[in-house]
Structure 1
Amino acid sequence: MVGRAEELSRLLAAVGRALEGRSCAVLLAGDAGVGKTRLLDELAVRATERGVRVLVGHCVDLGDVGLPYLPFVDLLRPVTGEPLAAAGQPALAGLLSGRAPVAVPEQPGGAPADLGRPLPRREPRPLLDDGRLQLFEGVAALLTELAVSTPLLLVLEDVHWADRSSRDLLRYLLARLAEEPVALVVSYRADDLHRRHPLRPLLAELVRLPGVDRLELEPLPDAAVGELVRGLADGVPEKTVDDVVARAEGNAFYAEELTAAGLAGETLPLALTDVLLARVEQLDEATQRVLRVAAVAGREVRHDLVAAVSGLAPAELEAALADAVHHHLLVVSVGGRYRFRHALLREAVLADLLPGERVRLHAAVAGHLTATPGAGTAAELAHHARGSNDLPRALSASLDAAVEAGRAGAPAEQLQHLEAALALWPAVPDAAERACRDHTTLLLDTAAAARRGGELHRAVALLREALRLLGEDGDPVVRAGVHSTLAQALGRIEDQAAAHRESTRAMALVPAQPPSVVRTWAAATHARTSYDVSRWAEGDAAADEALAAADALGLDSAWADTAVSLARVRGFGDRVAVQARLEEALARARRSGDTDVELRVLFNLAVVPYEDGDLAGALRWVEAGLARARELGMEWAFYPAELRHLGVVVRYVSGDWDGSLGLAEELVRVPDMAAHVRAVGLLVQVGRGDPAAAERVAWARGLAARLDAHVLLLLATAGAEIDLAAWAGDAGTAVERARAAVQQVHAYWNYDRLAVVRLVATALAPVADAAAAARGAGDDAAVQRWGAAGEELAAQARSAVEDHVQAIGGYGVEAAAWRARVEAEAARLAGRVAPELWRTAVDAFGYGHVYEQARSRVRLAEALLATGDRDGAAAEVRAAGEVAARLGAAPLRAAVVVLARRGRLPLDLPGARRVVEGGAVFTPRESEVLRLLARGRTNRQIGGELYISEKTASVHVSNILAKLGAGSRTEAVALAAARGLLPAPR
């Protein structure tokens, strides 16, 4: 090792953290040939010496071939013989054998996929569970078990070539293995990451995770390159050393190749490809043939394939392979395969092949794979068949590869292979016979794969193409199924008007009598899309038809699913009736064996008591649903995730903040699909004043922007952001975030946007504070500006309530409490003292929202103080202080202390008495400076009025900002006003 002491030290520090029982990860970036692999080899040796088990996986560049999870299969291959590798983990065992089974829910009675999943507006929009979460958890569980006895170092090389499923699993593991003795090092070529490279957004997300570090491997300095060259062989002429140093530009691999060429007595070529090929061309023809075969086959190649394709006699083949290994062009991997010592070598050999030779070699490889069962995967065969222009065989292999990818839990690769088959279809005359389906059916299969993989926009395009192929004269039953499926997909990308048009077309194509499976699910879909666009009578009629048809056909799961939709949209206000309907739906779902519908019913059984203010009842159903999910092995499916989300919320509301945060952090380990669970847990961090909250909120905001239509993530993120801004006294940010969230929710959810009332109520608090500060400073323009912004938000909240009441007929206790808060804050915004409004808010939150009731008590105490009711104010402050202490809510506790100090109220709170009774927060001079700051004076003006220098005034201003934690003079005035610290104007 030369010139990499610092980088090796940082990597060994990560290994040290694993030895201490803490997880960590390093993203190792560097250009091709800069020395990443050599550094990782040295790290593996050092880690092994320290008692760490090292597992290494390599990504392979095979062009457009999707070999799902290949680096993880490579990494886990050494442990496949250990009993725990497959114990209780069928998905994992399948992965290690290359055939992972994945349970993809199917509709009873052969209904088209997705047609039985109505999603009423009052339920969250799902990000599809594509069946991989159990597999991901199986890999994580295996690594956790391995790490129990011996800390692990996991090395994944060349992830710039990783398939999408491997990237998803990597993301999952980095979040999931948060508290395990595992160090993960991931290398990639920085120079390969073009602007649209799929690894770029993943890297941007990963570096924000705690415990993830990024290490850039810079080119070696000239002195280190010289040392490297001299160490490669004895007696290297100094002229060669100087030439290599000048030419290598700090690249270790270039340096080695240039040195080898120079020592061979050759004139050093100008281009790198020439440098690499010079090493190849000095070998005999048999060895060069072996290298060409290996280059076409892939970075790793089996001995039998080289033997079959090269056409060399056994003795000649062995000599050629030995020669390639001896010259450090090929190396023998742990599994007995040959691979190029460096990917650049393979690329150079490939680039030197003539087109005809490349086609011939691809054909030979494809022929060997076809004739030798188990010699390779269908994806490899598809790749080589396309490379040899054997399009019929490429079509068949692509379809087989899609099946293998589906079994391996790799929906992205499954979609990739199906789309490859679609692209080949026009060029293969007997495509329908080979595919055992017509073109339209292949389009529908590909659309289903796109939906399972979360590629909803692609699914929409494929479904529309299927409709175009079917034409107006196509089978009406098939067309109805496609229209219904398209409506489902459009609804999930929030195009509600188009979704309703498609479900309307589906209904028109199939008669209601006699009842049929397709018509039943079409009616269920049409009910949902009608509700989405506020066509209530139309939605009710479709739902009634779906229920009746499901009864007639004995489709219990369809009946249960439709009953949930109808109960949630039309059953408001009659909890007993809704509960009975949902319990019947639960019984039918269980009878049908449709576990997805069963879990949906369980989720709604938990939602109903929550909306009625019965937190204990909601929690019981949450726990029952999660227990059932564990029993089914579906803990990470969509509805179990929603049950967890609700469980986090219920615990937060009821004051069990430790339980709420604990449940949220369990779901931190699930990327994207349950990101809203992690985000809603941020409310606890913000409420406790956790210094890490701002960074975590920024993460959630970035993810919400990327996922776009994940409205629950948007709401959770906006709620945490606004609350954070409110405690910081940042009225501008609070208004901006609330306004944007209100607009987005309105665009997505139309009438059902009660959730914005909470966002508006929270945002109005700092806005009213800013208006109060402006009044104190005599800034009428600012008073008017903040008043207008606050009234705009309040109007949005009132509109949301009115629209919801008109559509649904009422709202729950939580919405009533937030509505009361909005009206109380609106009064404070206008400068009115309204203790009766704050008393209403306190009573409304008394249904069980411990924290928000305490916050309302602080405002009530302020209003009571303004009216002279000191005893009443003291009682409210005392009650709020007790809650703040119990929850560990530091910002609320600080607000209680400041109010008690300002009002000279008794407060029996540990550590607070000294603050309340021990004198002013500011010195007398600082109070004078603050008073002038509130009037908008500059430092020079403050100095002139107080007969001090401008520099001294600046020092006082800095002290004030530091004590308030403010970032600007305006923010300091706002914070001081909010906390009752602004001196009265003279």
Structure 2
Amino acid sequence: MVSATIGAVPRWESPPLIGRAAELARLMAHVDQAVEGRPSAVLVAGDAGVGKTRLLDELSRRATARGVRVLTGHCVDLGDVGLPYLPFVDLLRPVVADPELTPVLARHPVLVGPLTGRPGAAVPDSAAADLGRSLPGSALRPPDDDGRLQLFESVAALLGDLAAGQPLLVVLEDLHWADRSSRDLLRYLLARLVDRQVDEPVTVVATYRADDLHRRHPLRPLLAELVRLPGVERLQLDPLPDAEVAELVRRLDADAGGASVEDVVARAEGNAFYAEELVAAGRAGEVLPGGLSDVLLARVEQVGLAAQQVLRVAAVAGRQVRHELVAAVSSKSPEETEQALAEAVHHHLLVVSDDGRYRFRHALLREAVLADLLPGERVRLHAAVAAHLAAWPEAGTAAERAHHLRESNDLPGALSASLEAADAARRVGAPAEQLQHLEAVLALWAAVPDAADRAGRPSWAVLLDTAAAARAVGDLHRAVALLRSAQELLGADGDPQARARVHYTAAQVLGRIEEAAEAHRESSAAMRLVPAQPPSVVRTWAAATHARTSYSLGLVAEADAAAEEALAAADALGLDSAWADTAVSLARGSGTGDRAAVRVRFAEARARAQRSGDADVEMRVWFSQAVTAHDAGEVAEALELATAGLARARALGVEWSFYGAELRHLEVLCRYVLGDWDGSLAAADALARVPDMAAHVRADGLLVLVGRGDPRAGEVLDWARGPAARWDNHVLLMLATVAAEIELAGQAGDAATAGERARWADGRLRELWGDERLASVRLVATALGAYADAATTARRAGDGEAEARWVAEAAELAEIGRSAAEVQYPTGIEARAWETRLSAELARVRGEAAVELWRQAVEEFGYGHVYEEARSRFRLAEAMLAVDDRPGAAAESAAAHDVAGQLGAVPLRTAIEALARRGRLELPGVRTVATTVFTPRETEVLSLVAQGRTNRQIGAELFISEKTASVHVSNILAKLGASGRTEAVALAAARGLLG
């Protein structure tokens, strides 16, 4: 047994911790903070060998002495194995092994399978079971949701339960090797832990190799997101100074002479592990190759051939390996194997983990041994490991077997194991790894003659499954490419039912990425392939999909015909999910204004969808109910439906599905419109915790941040425009981003940028939606507000040429908005309000008061849009002042100011107060006596504002913070009674205040 073999072997004594006192103190401060009930996290970065593991060992020791429970998980480099959630399984293994913690684990049954390796019930698909039954041997229609919420929540809840009994330190090592599912779970845990400020005594410390993070490394965007969370700190471990490396060498080897110490210091270049290996190899005074691999292999060559052999076996098997596997693969007697392992442990090449497994003392050592293997030896060892895992399935996973079989060139076996691994990943809710394994199956398919027999389905069906996995992880463009491959494979003479299924599935995916015309072509192709009679499942879903794509293009007659056919066939076949899906398309696409009839149809659709067990269709019904209410101006009802739908989604475990995300999007918007800005921000942040899902919902928070003048808006904009969000692939994300850009440009007095962004967005909407692009009306109206400010400033400064230019450009821009408003169906009250706003802003550009237009805008936004009603009141007050209606202006200003204060809308409140000062209006609780007496610092800031500097540039030039610069700018605007920076400069110049 392992314990008997290793019992007399001395353990590796940890090297002394040198030169990390400050870093250790910072980490212990986080542990102390957790003990007091304030959770936090630290991301420790450093190059390979710089001392991350040693620092964490010392931290764990001290935390344990403080009475903190320490759980440690390791990420492992297994190439393309794709073991989902490996570090979390690793760190929670002691929970499974501890009988005292069994009751805690029992409260979270979702985790029993992943942690014990004995999966229970499979994660249920949200597919239509009747479709799967209709195509023997085929996969069920894939769910949109990846089913991870229950798993994520269960891990978080388990850690919370453990922390409730004893403060907890969670250590995750080598995040640069983390699988995608583990990265997603880490994002969720940290955001949940620190963003909500939960009262849990937990500290999370995670390490990663900074030198491994190339530009496209998948960890980079995650780190950029995590460091913005409150309570998450990044700690960089720099190379040790030469003096500390010298001290380390002397502590490791008391007999080291001065020349030897200097040689190690020169070669180590601040890397503690390098220095340690140089000393241990006893080669410090000799000429060595520059690579660390040579230093490590010098250590390996000091042990006997048998020990070297077990090291090679262990390196191929993984960073941690069981005694039984080494014994089975090493081809030596039990006694020889035990002696070889003991020698490797004695020489500190292997260490024995608490669970009895061997592991390399450092990942670099394993890498060096692997790199030194001859190709034939590598293949032979992988084959031996694969054979052992096949004989003892409990010793490893299908993913590990697939890896070793591929590396041993057993391609048929690798294909079968990859299929098994894909299914295992699906059952534990890891679609990214499922996709990875299915991609491996597709890569091996042509090389395995009996691939279809092994898979139990033809290659087109595997492509369909792979597309479903890509869809589940949000890679919709990859899903389309896979479906295109399936179409090419089936060809023009392939089975019509199969071809139709691929076509309508492609139509569904294309509709999600705003390719409406192409989606319609795909659904049309599906309709041509399968006859309407006799009714069939495939034809019914093809018709249901075709109705949806036809309505999206405004082809109402064609859509109605397809919908009627789908409803009749669904009734005949008992396909409740297809009926419900079609009923939703009909209710949303027919343009009926009978809200009572629509509500009845939705109620029946929801009941049928729930009866069918199709969670995706049921969520589509919930979303459609809510968005229809929103579009009708019934915002309170829309919010009620959205929150109820989300509650149902949580109950079904699909809160993070496509329509779950859209319901959250509606919740964010409705709370924003109704004036619950804090609730809107909270809802937006909640969804941001799940990776690669609904980036537009996080961007929706820009509405509040920009409205409040919060500087965090810039950070969210940078993220939304970055590669992580892929913003141009999602029209709602694009709209949220561009709307924020236009608002910010207006606040900065940059009318040209505001207009350019509105034109660009309208062009993009034309590409995606054609003429049906009402969203352009809002964007253009907002941009015209910036044009009106610019024209007003030019008019006050007596710059007739600039005024004429702004008036002409505004007229051209307004035509874009008016053409977007010319739709073929009745517009809702919000759209009408924005049309009125557009006309009112255009009148303001021309210098017209337009009191009645602004009064109409106030009335129309009064349907429930608290902020836009207040903004319209502000402009109405300005117009009333222009016609000398001072009492009316005072009343409207006061009402708008009150709302701005309640919302925390600082830019609007500042503008209203500036208007009151210019017009000598009384605002309750606000001093409105104008003054232009600037402090010396304000004079400096005003001069830089006149030069076009941003707040950040002003701060840098005057050596003050950006926030302080912003305060000075606000004070200047208030003293001048200006509504924006451009107007302030014009007023200051007119009054001779710019020197």
Question: Do they superpose with TM above 0.5?
Answer: yes
Q: Are 1:776 and 1:934, in contact at CA under 8 Å, matched by a contact in 2?
A: no
The alpha-carbon distance between structure 1 residues 390 and 147, as it changes in their structure 2 partners (threshold 3 A), is same
Matched, 1:91 2:91: no
Deviates more, 1:567-576 or 1:97-106: 97-106
User: What do the CA deviations read for 1:590-631 (whole angstroms, capped 9, x no partner)?
Assistant: 332323322221222222332222233223323332333343
* CA deviation after TM superposition for structure 1 residue 880, in Å: 1.4
Which residue number corresponds to residue 86 of structure 2? 70
Q: Match of 2:206, as an amino acid? A: V
Q: 1:409 aligns with which of 423, 426, 429?
A: 429
User: 8 Å contact 1:134–1:636 — kept in the other structure?
Assistant: no
Alignment-derived partner of residue 605 in structure 1: 625
1:906 aligns with 2:922: yes
Counterpart mapping for 1:483-632 below 5 A: 483-632=503-652
The residue aligned with 1:843 is: 859
1:105 equivalent in alignment to 2:126: yes
Q: 2:54 aligns with which of 30, 33, 38?
A: 38
Q: Which residue is 1:431 aligned to?
A: 451
Cα separation, 2, equivalents of 1:239 and 1:815: 81
SS of the residue 2:446 aligns to: helix
- Give the drift of 1:937: 14
Separation of aligned partners in 1, 2:854 and 2:273:
72
Give the CA deviation at 1:449.
Answer: 2.1
SS of 2:204's equivalent in the other structure is strand
Query: Aligned residue for 2:222?
Result: 202
- Which residue does 2:357 correspond to in 1? 337
Distance change in 2, residues 1:86/1:752 (3 Å): farther
Which has the higher mean CA deviation after the structures are superposed, 97-106 or 222-231?
Answer: 97-106
Verify: 1:820 aligned to 2:836, yes or no: yes
Residue 170 of structure 1 and its aligned partner are, at CA, apart by 2.0
Deviation of 1:697 (Å): 3.8
CA distance in 1, matches of 2:51, 2:664: 45
2:888 to 872, 895, 899: 872
Residue deviations 1:857-901, cap 9 Å, x none?
111111111111111111111221222233333332222222222
- CA-CA distance at 1:985 after TM superposition: 7.7
- Say which is worse superposed, 657-666 or 834-843, in terms of deviation: 657-666
Structure 1: how far apart are the matches of 2:877 and 2:174?
A: 61
User: Hey, what does 2:8 align to over in structure 1?
Assistant: none
TM-aligned CA distance change 1:195 to 1:643, over 3 Å:
closer
Question: Unmatched 5+ residue regions in structure 2?
Answer: 1-16, 950-963
Displacement of 1:588: 2.1
- What displacement does 1:929 show? 12
TM alignment of 1:86-235, pairs within 5 A: 86-87=105-106, 89-98=108-117, 99=119, 101-110=122-131, 128-178=144-194, 179-180=197-198, 181-235=201-255
Tell me: CA distance 1:188–1:835, structure 2 relative to 1, closer, same or farther (3 Å): same
Q: Deviations over 1:484-505 (max 9, x none)?
A: 1122222323333322222221
Conserved in 2, the CA contact under 8 Å of 1:108 and 1:555?
no
Q: How many residues align?
A: 948
**Paired residue type of 1:373:** P
Match of 1:889 in 2: 905
- Is the 8 Å Cα contact of residues 606 and 621 (structure 2) preserved in structure 1? yes
**1:924 Cα offset (Å):** 12
Aligned counterpart in structure 1 of residue 470 of structure 2, from 428, 442, 450? 450
1:51 counterpart residue number: 67
Return the offset for 1:733.
4.0
Distance in 1 (alpha carbons) for counterparts of 2:570 and 2:312:
62
The range that moved more, 565-574 or 526-535, is 526-535
Which of 800, 803, 807 is the aligned partner of 2:820?
A: 800
* CA positional deviation for 1:469: 2.1
Residues 941, 968 of structure 2: 8 Å contact kept: no
Instruction: Write out per-residue CA displacement over residues 503-532 of structure 1, whole angstroms, 9 at most, x where no aligned residue.
Output: 221111101111111111111222222233
What is the CA–CA distance in structure 2 between the aligned matches of 1:924 and 1:74, rounded to whole Å? 61
Q: After superposing the two structures, state which structure 1 stretch, 529-538 or 274-283, moved more.
A: 529-538
Bigger drift between 924-933 and 211-220 goes to: 924-933
Shift of 1:470: 1.8
Q: Is the 8 A contact 1:85 1:92 kept in 2?
A: no
Shift of the alpha carbon at 1:984? Answer: 6.5
Determine which of 968, 971, 978 is the counterpart of 1:962. Answer: 968
2:551·2:590 contact (CA, 8 Å) conserved in 1? no
CA–CA separation in structure 2 for the residues paired with 1:66 and 1:931 = 57
Q: Distance in 1 between matches of 2:38 and 2:608?
A: 47
> Over the residues paired in the alignment, what is the CA RMSD in angstroms?
3.3
Q: Secondary structure at the match of 1:916?
A: coil
Residues 337, 782 of structure 1: alpha-carbon distance in 2 compared, 3 angstrom cutoff: farther
Of the three residues 661, 670, 673, the one matched with 2:690 is 670
Q: Distance in 2 between matches of 1:898 and 1:765?
A: 17
Structure 2 CA distance for partners of 1:751 and 1:527, relative to 1, 3 Å: farther
Work out whether 1:708 is the aligned partner of 2:691: no
Contact 2:543 2:565 in 1 (8 A): yes
Query: Per-residue deviation at 1:423?
Result: 1.8
Q: Tell me, which stretches of 5 or more residues in structure 1 are unaligned?
A: 118-126, 939-957
Deviations 1:194-239 (A, max 9, x none): 3332223333333333333333322222111111100002221222
CA 1:209–1:747 in 2, change beyond 3 Å: closer, same or farther? farther
Question: Would the aligned equivalents of 1:704 and 1:714 in 2 still touch at CA under 8 Å?
Answer: no
Distance in 2 (alpha carbons) for counterparts of 1:878 and 1:515 = 65
Secondary structure in 2 matching 1:429: coil
Structure 2: distance between partners of 1:932 and 1:279: 67
Q: Answer yes or no: is 1:257 the counterpart of 2:277.
A: yes
In structure 2, distance between residues paired with 1:889 and 1:439: 57
Contact preservation (8 Å) 2:746, 2:783 = yes
Summarize the Cα distance change of 1:539–1:771 in structure 2 as closer, same or farther, 3 Å threshold. Answer: same
Letter in 2 for 1:479: R
| Amino acid paired to 1:583 | A
What residue number does 1:916 align with? 928
> Under a length normalisation based on structure 1, what TM-score does the superposition of the two structures give?
0.90
Sequence identity (%): 66
Quickly say closer, same or farther: Cα 1:763–1:142, change in 2 above 3 A: farther
Question: Does the aligned pair in 2 maintain the 1:922–1:960 contact within 8 Å?
Answer: no
Deviation at 1:64, TM superposition (A): 1.9
1:875–1:926 distance in 2 versus 1, CA, 3 Å = farther
Is the CA contact 2:917–2:977 (under 8 Å) kept in the aligned structure 1?
no
Name 2:4's counterpart in structure 1: none
Counterpart of 2:208 in structure 1: which amino acid? Y
Is 1:863 aligned with 2:883? no
Give the Cα separation in 2 of the matches to 1:363 and 1:934. 70
Change (3 A) 1:860 1:425: same
Shift of 1:691: 4.2
Paired residues of 1:927 and 1:983 also in contact (CA < 8 A): no
The amino acid across from 1:764 in the alignment is L
- What is the match of residue 660 of structure 2? 640
Name the SS of the counterpart of 2:401 in structure 1: helix
TM-superposed deviation, 1:293 = 0.7
Cα separation, partners in 2 of 1:266 and 1:864, compared to 1, 3 Å: closer
Matched position secondary structure for 1:868:
coil
When residues 193 and 469 of structure 1 are mapped into structure 2, their CA distance, relative to the original with a 3 A threshold, is same
Deviations along 1:128-185, one digit per CA (max 9) or x if unpaired, are 5322222222222222333334443222211221112212222222322222443322
8 Å Cα contact 2:67-2:166 kept in structure 1? yes
Match of 1:767 among 757, 764, 787: 787
Q: Distance in 1 between matches of 2:418 and 2:18?
A: 46
Could you report, residue by residue, the CA deviation over 1:745-791 in whole angstroms, capped at 9, with x for unpaired residues? 33333344222322222232222111111122233343244334433
CA offset at residue 935 of structure 1?
Answer: 11
Q: CA deviation at 1:549?
A: 1.6
SS in 2 for 1:328: coil
- Equivalent-residue separation in structure 1 for 2:103 and 2:702 (angstroms): 36
Q: Distance in 1 between matches of 2:647 and 2:811?
A: 46
CA deviations 1:57-110 (Å, max 9, x no partner) are 111111221111111111222223534654454433332234374232111412
Q: Is the 8 A contact 1:964 1:976 kept in 2?
A: no
